[in-house]
């Protein structure tokens, strides 16, 4: 079972809109799983709640804990890219439950476009050392009407969070690539449910492990 708790006011300004509190490694189901919400519940944050709860982090963790053949040492290992990739991927899927499929598809494409921009900007800033004018050139290539203050704010945000965006967004692309591979190989036999079961059943693992696991099935 789970509990929803509010973020304490003392740390609210520095906290995310919502986050899943990962249980201890010896969690046995007797204590609640906890999702913190920063401020009052807001329907506009539906995808964030889906990311942190169901079908995102909380569901993935719960599924992982039910794997009977899992070696105990694996409870000590957590791959951030696996966890955030799954949560980001599933929050996209959750949109269809509060809208029609046409909007869900449009939302997915728009989010993918924005995320690819963030990945490219992160690499440019942290690998190639882009300054603000160089970042601005990329920004103006894909977006119009961005004022200088907003551009500076986005640039500063990326500077302060090196490699954060690829952890979420590139990992989502990896999951989609695995999904497309499964769809191609299985054709009419493909099932979203079976694909998700195969992904989750490999537990917290890097994507090369998941890819090898799929090749062996």
Peptide bond into 215 cis (omega under 30): no
Structure-token match 């490999």, residue found: 202
Give the distance, in angstroms, between the CA of residue 167 and the centroid of all CA atoms in the same chain. Answer: 8
What are the φ and ψ backbone dihedral angles of 17, each rounded to 5 degrees? -60, -30
Q: pLDDT of the chain along its 217 residues, tens only?
A: 788 899 999 999 988 889 998 888 778 778 889 999 998 888 888 999 999 999 999 999 888 887 877 787 887 778 899 999 999 999 999 999 999 999 999 999 999 999 999 999 999 999 999 999 999 999 999 999 999 999 999 999 999 999 999 999 999 999 999 999 999 999 999 999 999 999 998 888 888 877 776 665 5
Q: Considering the entire predicted model, what is its pTM?
A: 0.87
The β-bridge partners of 96 are none
Nearest to 61 by CA among 96, 94, 97, 24: 24
Structure-token match 């890097």, residue found: 206
């Amino acid at each position: 079972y789970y509990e929803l708790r509010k973020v304490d006011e003392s740390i609210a300004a520095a906290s995310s809109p919502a986050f899943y509190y990962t249980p201890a490694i010896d969690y046995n189901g007797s204590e609640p799983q906890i999702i913190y919400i920063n401020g009052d519940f807001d329907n506009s944050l539906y995808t964030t709640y889906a990311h942190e709860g169901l079908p995102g982090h909380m569901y993935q963790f719960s599924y992982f804990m039910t794997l009977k053949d899992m070696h105990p040492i694996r409870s000590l290992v957590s791959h951030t890219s696996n966890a955030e990739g799954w949560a980001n991927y599933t929050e996209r899927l959750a949109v269809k439950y509060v809208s029609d499929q046409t909007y869900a598809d449009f939302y997915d494409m728009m989010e993918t476009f924005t995320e690819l921009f963030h990945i490219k900007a992160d690499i440019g800033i942290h690998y190639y050392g882009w300054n603000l004018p160089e970042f601005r050139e990329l920004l103006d290539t894909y977006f119009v009407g961005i004022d200088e203050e907003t551009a500076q704010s986005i640039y500063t945000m990326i500077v302060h969070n090196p490699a954060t965006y690829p952890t979420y967004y590139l990992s989502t692309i990896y999951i989609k690539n695995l999904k497309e591979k499964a769809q191609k190989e299985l054709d009419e036999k493909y099932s979203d449910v079976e694909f998700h079961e195969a992904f989750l059943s490999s537990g917290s693992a890097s994507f090369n492990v998941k890819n090898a696991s799929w090749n062996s099935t």
